């Protein structure tokens, strides 16, 4: 019986590094106990992390599949599992299972396209994987634009990587913004949706959105105003999950399960689903 592919039984992972990104976001590096990558994944996929006795929860894998050494998860403190993780120390074991879900269509629809990534707050976490993947294969994709906004300077996730690597990547244009004026900030100030409109992107791009629902809503309106079609816009969703394999029955939007048929959806696909997320 033990030779079956067992999807509910997790593997053991060990936290080997914890980076403090913002006051409420930490990035955890997870490896197998003998220092290997736990499993391979595709950009946009998720994994179930758990602490026995605390709970299990789904997180998007923040690191790129092209990173062959480890996996990273950027996690915002907001519930039982995340609060527990935030007080964990390096060396702490966790359980991990996955990868789950439909990845971004990096080999199909994205190929050869100019890409526009738009993220707000912790919404950068699921996009970091796909951004770094596309940066790794510059020949496969056109220009990359990244619009990223947060409440304040200190709330920008992965700020170091953005400044050190993304900004210096000649194939990438980074547009940062924060909600309110702040001392020491010389960049753009304002909400993401307005900034997107101001930047007036060319509509030959494929856009990928992730952020709080209110940001998604207004950015979508902004993109449509610029002339983007819904088939050019992707997003990634999150709902409560328990199994990760489309069986426990709670993460559905209409007939689609976010864990299995998502988390990546194209906007026109979402339009077909009832408005219940």
Query: Taking contact as CB under 8 A, which single stretch among the options 59-67, 158-166, 220-228, 251-259 is the one that binds other proteins?
Result: 251-259
Shortest separation between residue 154's beta carbon and other proteins, angstroms: 21
User: Binding to other proteins by residue 255, rule CB under 8 A?
Assistant: yes
Q: Which of 176, 159, 98, 169 is nearest to 134 (CA)?
A: 169
Q: Which two tokens stand for residue 149?
A: 């906004």
If DSSP codes are grouped into helix, strand and coil, which group holds residue 172? strand
181 class by beta-carbon count within 10 Å (0-12 exposed, 13-18 middle, 19+ buried): exposed
Signed CA dihedral, 96, 47, 251, 237: sign only = positive
CA–CA distances in Å: residue 155 to residues 29, 75, 106, 221, 242: 20, 13, 28, 25, 29
Q: Which residue has the tokens 């993401």?
A: 192
Interface mask toward other proteins for 30-69; x: CB under 8 A: ----------------------xxxxx-------------
Shortest separation between residue 43's beta carbon and other proteins, angstroms: 21
Nearer to other proteins (CB atom), residue 84 or residue 185: 84
User: Binding to other proteins by residue 82, rule CB under 8 A?
Assistant: yes
User: Binding to other proteins by residue 274, rule CB under 8 A?
Assistant: yes
Interface mask toward other proteins for 94-133; x: CB under 8 A: xx--------------------------------------
- In order, the DSSP letters of 167-187 are TT-TTEEEEEEESS--TT--S
Q: Residue 141 carries which DSSP code?
A: S
Shortest separation between residue 100's beta carbon and other proteins, angstroms: 10
> What crossing angle do the helices spanning 192-199 and 213-226 adopt, rounded to 10°?
20
Nearer to other proteins (CB atom), residue 89 or residue 108: 89
User: Binding to other proteins by residue 249, rule CB under 8 A?
Assistant: yes
Using the rule CB under 8 A, which residue among 6, 69, 107, 202 binds other proteins? Answer: 6
Separation CA 97–CA 50 (nearest Å): 9
Shortest separation between residue 125's beta carbon and other proteins, angstroms: 13
Contact criterion met (CB below 8 Å) for 251 and 244: no
Using the rule CB under 8 A, which residue among 21, 145, 155, 238 binds other proteins? Answer: 238
Using the rule CB under 8 A, which residue among 39, 70, 84, 277 binds other proteins? Answer: 277
Q: Which positions touch other proteins (CB under 8 A)?
A: 1-2, 4-10, 12, 52-56, 78-80, 82, 89, 91-95, 238-240, 242-243, 245, 247-255, 272-274, 276-277
């Amino acid at each position: 019986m033990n030779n079956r592919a067992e999807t509910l039984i997790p593997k053991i992972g060990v936290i080997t590094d914890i980076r403090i990104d913002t006051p409420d976001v930490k990035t955890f590096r997870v490896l197998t106990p003998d220092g290997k990558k736990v499993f391979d994944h595709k950009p946009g996929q998720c994994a179930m992390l758990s602490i026995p006795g605390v709970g299990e929860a789904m997180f998007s894998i923040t690191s790129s599949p092209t990173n062959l050494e480890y996996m990273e998860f950027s996690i915002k403190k907001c519930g039982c599992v995340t609060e527990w993780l935030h007080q964990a120390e390096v060396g702490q074991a966790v359980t991990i299972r996955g990868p789950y879900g439909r990845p971004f269509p990096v080999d199909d629809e994205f190929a050869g396209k100019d890409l526009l990534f738009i993220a707000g707050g912790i919404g950068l976490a699921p996009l970091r994987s796909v951004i770094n993947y596309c940066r790794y294969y510059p020949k496969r994709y056109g220009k990359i634009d990244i619009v990223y906004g947060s409440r304040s300077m200190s709330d920008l996730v992965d700020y170091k990587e953005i400044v050190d690597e993304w900004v210096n990547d000649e194939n990438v244009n980074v547009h940062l913004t924060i909600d309110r004026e702040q001392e020491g900030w010389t960049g753009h100030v304002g909400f993401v949706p307005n900034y997107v409109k101001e930047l007036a992107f060319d509509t030959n791009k494929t856009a990928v959105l992730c952020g709080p629902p209110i940001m998604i809503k207004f950015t979508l309106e902004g993109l449509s105003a610029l002339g983007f079609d819904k088939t050019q816009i992707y997003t990634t969703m999150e709902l409560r999950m328990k199994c990760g394999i489309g069986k426990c029955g709670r993460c559905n939007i209409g007939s689609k399960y976010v864990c299995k048929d998502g988390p990546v959806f194209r906007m026109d696909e979402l339009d077909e689903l009832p408005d219940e997320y």
